[in-house]
Amino acid sequence: MDTELMLDVGQANELKLAFRRAGWTNADLKRLSEGDLTARLLPAVRGLAEIVVAKHVVDCDADPFLPEGWKVESHKKGGSFEWNPAKVKLHLAPSQQNGKCVQGHKLREELANEPVLNANVLDFFLKHPELIPEEWKGSYVYFWGTVCRNSDGALYVRYLCWDGSHWGWDYYWLGHDWDDDCPAACSQVSF
């Protein structure tokens, strides 16, 4: 049996069409070719193993990370939150839409009954940036489920942001204004 791999133009086209049907991107193909991922997939391709989709669960009841000297003002607990991009939306309050801005304290009141995600989800994303939806780039995504007070007594909300090369976090004072670049990360399912 000849085991030398030969990839002709026809086979390359078949692979390209199969990858397109499955929704693969060029970035996915690049990742597939790195390291030992293809070796780990081969048993499944040959019917010798099964692929189990990993579940990513965030403990939204845990104490959130706080910068040194900060305290939790409010922390909306949400139990075990299983990450599924189809169950999360970026929410803009009406006062943030159509070129309008709203002060953070007022926005906090407007979001009080929304299923906002807390900062534990933000920290989960920082550990798993590959799971952050691509369309979140260009926005400052706020996690209003956790509001913190710094050592000076001012209230802040942490947010997730893309700097052009990687994801990071920062915080914003509630005394400032929020516009349409500042959506709240919300669950599509109420807690």
Domain boundaries, the chain: 9-45, 57-187
Q: Which residue type does 139 have?
A: S
pTM above 0.95, yes or no: no
Which pLDDT score is estimated for 69?
Answer: 93
Tokens of 180: 């349409």
Which neighbouring-strand residues pair with 72?
Answer: 148
**Average pLDDT estimate for 93-98:** 95
pLDDT of residue 2: 62
The predicted structure's pLDDT at residue 1 = 52
Using pLDDT thresholds of 50, 70 and 90, give the confidence band for residue 27: confident
Return the percentage of the chain with pLDDT > 90, whole number.
71
Q: How large a percentage of the chain has pLDDT more than 70? A: 97
Q: 140-151: string of b/e by CB count within 10 Å (b at 16+)?
A: bbbbbbbbbbbe
Mean pLDDT of 140-166: 96
pLDDT recorded at residue 28 = 85
Please give the Cα distance from 94 to 98 (Å, whole number). 8
